[in-house]
Amino acid sequence: MKGALPDEGTPFRETSAEPPTASVPFSHLSLELGHLYMEDVADGPARPDRLARHFAAVRPWADAVRAGVGPLPGGRRPRISTCFLVDDYFSRLATPAELVPPLLAAAREAGLAIDYLARESGCAAPDPARPGSAPLAESVLHRLVESPPPGSTGYRPPVGRTGWLTNGRRTPSRRTSAALDASDVWQPPSETLARGHSVFMDVELFSGPEDDRTWSCAFLASVWQLARLGLLRDNGRAVLTPVAWDPAAFPADWDALPPVVQLTPGAAPFTAYGTCSVLPGRFLPVEHAVRVVLDQVQLEPDVLDQVARRSAAEEYPLPAGVVERTSYVFPPGL
C-alpha cells in the first residue's frame, strides 16, 4: 500500500460543507466624511449651522485625501467612495426623516456627496435582511486573540468575560499583603511594542451581562472599520451590504432604514482596500482604541487571501497588517 493511512483522530470535512466565501466589490479608498453622535446633529435650530460648519471644515481635507491617492498604474483613476455614520445606537433624538435631509443638504452645499449612509446600530445587531445572522459585534468579539505581554501568567480572565482589551501589560494586582511579601511593590503598566516609552491603553469593549450587553463606541467603531475594509463575513456571506435608497424619502423610524444605504447611483463600492476618516479631534482616543482592537482580531484567511489577490491583480499593494490600511485626519477646529 502506498503512503500511510491517516490517524484515527484526524478530522474529515466535506469540501462541499464549507460555506463559500462571498466576494465583495472594492474601491481603493473609503472616505468617511463624518462620524458624529446624534446629539451633535439633532440640536434644533442650531443644527443647520452646525452641519454647514462641519462639512465646510471637512471639504478641503477630503479634497487633499482624494488627491493623495494619486493615479494608478496605467493612468487609471482611483475608485473612492464616501460614507457617513449616524449614531442611532446610543440615542435616537431625531428620526431619519428629520435628521438625514438637512445632513445631505449641508454636505451638498459644501460640495460634498455622501454616497453611503450607515447606522451605528447595524454594527451591533444581526442583519435584518438575513434572519438568523450573527450580530456583527458579537462575531468580532469571538475573533479577538489577545496578545500576551512578556511574562504574563494568564491570571486575568479573557476579554470575552471582562470586556477589556489592552495593548500591553497591566499594573499587577496585589494579591498578597506587603507584610507577607516584601517583593510586592508597585509596577507600571507597559505597552507590548513600546518604542522607548510606553503608550499603554486598556479598552472597554462592552458593559453589562452577556444577555444584555452595551457595546462601547470604540468597539463599534472597530467593527465599522472592518466592515468598510470588506473583511467581515457571516458564514461566508457578505455583511452590511448597501441597499439602494431614494435620498428624497426617509422613514420616521430608524429600524425601517437598512444598516447601510446607497444614496448615490453608480457610486464606487462601499468596501475598500483602505479607509480614511475625517473626524473631530475628540475622536482621537476612540480611534486609538480602534487600532488596539484591530491589532488583535483574527480574520478569516480566505477573506484576507481574497483581498490580497484582488489588490495584487490591480497592482495596488496593501500592507499586511489591517491597522495600516486605516488612516485619519483630525482637522483643527472641527
Which residue in this structure is represented by grid cell 518604542? 195
| Per-residue pLDDT of the chain in tens (334 residues, 90 and over written 9) | 444 444 444 444 444 456 788 999 999 999 999 987 877 765 555 577 889 999 999 999 999 999 999 888 888 999 999 999 999 999 888 899 999 999 999 999 999 999 999 999 999 988 777 777 778 999 999 999 876 666 555 556 788 888 899 877 777 765 554 555 555 677 877 677 777 887 888 899 999 988 889 999 999 999 999 999 999 999 899 999 999 999 989 999 999 999 999 999 999 999 999 999 999 999 999 999 999 999 999 999 999 999 999 999 999 999 999 999 999 999 998 8
Q: Do 121 and 225 meet the contact criterion of CB atoms below 8 Å apart?
A: no
Domain map of the chain by residue range?
Answer: 21-141+208-329
> How would you classify the pairing of strands 272-278 and 326-329?
parallel
Nearest CA among 221, 237, 315, 235 for reference residue 24 = 237
pTM (two decimals): 0.87
Nearest CA among 115, 110, 136, 114 for reference residue 125 = 136
SS3 98: helix
Question: Which strand (E) or helix (H) includes residue 234?
Answer: strand 233-234
The three-state DSSP-derived secondary structure of 30-92 is EEEEEEECHHHHCCHHHHHHHHHHHHHHHHHHHHHHHHHHCCCHHHCCCCEEEEEEECCCCCC
**Residue 35 has which C-alpha cell?**
462620524
